[in-house]
Amino acid sequence: MPTKQTKPKIVDFRQGQEELHRALREGMLDAATRLLTEEGPAALTVRKVAEAVNCSTTLLYSLFGGKDGLSNALYLEGFARLKREFAANPPQSHTAAGNLGLQRVTTLAGIYHRYAKQNPSYYMVMFGDAMAGFVPPLESRKQAWESLAVLIDAFDECMQAGALPRSNPTDAARLLWAAMHGAISLELKGYYLKTERADELFNAAVQAVLRSLQVGPDPQTNK
């Protein structure tokens, strides 16, 4: 019985090049991540990243467009990691009353705080001045805010369920983020001498925002 001949595999040069570039880019980003987390932002130079993957700085420039491109990739990676942390803690099932009150919001705040403490270098790339002179492009900033959309959804659920007065859930999420970021920035820069004090002040900031939202806008001033 004659054997069935298989057709020879057709090599697609362009596809092969794209796969190679994608693999190289991911390898360089991994190396940059290691440098960032193990040695801090000061160690993150084009030369050191190129050395870490045994390639030329010219190749790194061609794949990322220089240090700003690499910084932008790390910026987006930091938010992607935060988004995965939120996704790993999905909302609990609703209670018979129809909602879990503000529990989901405080849970998300705790996840955000833990992420910042466990990934301080990434957090400083995302929200601080770790990358001197780097300004995230508008599109990257839009993607970054989308990572915090889970906070908006949580506030919207609370408002629909009556746990909070009706207002703009996006504004509520921004207000909470501002309070969280302020407390965390002071913590990461070493302004608190005791860890317990940092945790206490972070939780107090979160609760202060939630209390202000529970009061709602002043009907006399519409504020």
Per the structure block, which two tokens stand in for 110? 């705790």
Three-state SS at 194: coil
Farthest-apart Cα atoms in the chain, separation: 92
Helices (H) and strands (E) in the chain, counts: 10, 0
Measure the CA angle with vertex 190, ends 186 and 195; round to 5°.
90
Q: Which residues contact 44 (CB under 8 A, 6 or more apart)?
A: 32, 35, 36, 70, 71, 74, 131
- Domain 74-215 in the same topology as domain 12-65: no
CA–CA dist 80, 147 (Å, integer): 7
Asked: is 74-215 a CATH 3.40.50.2300 domain? The reply is no
Per the structure block, which two tokens stand in for 17? 């090049």
pLDDT tens, position by position, 170-187: 999 999 999 999 999 999
- Read off the pLDDT of each residue in 144-156 and give the average, rounded to a whole number: 93
pLDDT band for position 95 (cuts 50, 70, 90): very low
Assigned CATH class of 12-65: mainly alpha
pTM, full prediction: 0.80
Domain boundaries, the chain: 12-65, 74-215
Q: Which of 175, 170, 185 is nearest to 208 (CA)?
A: 175
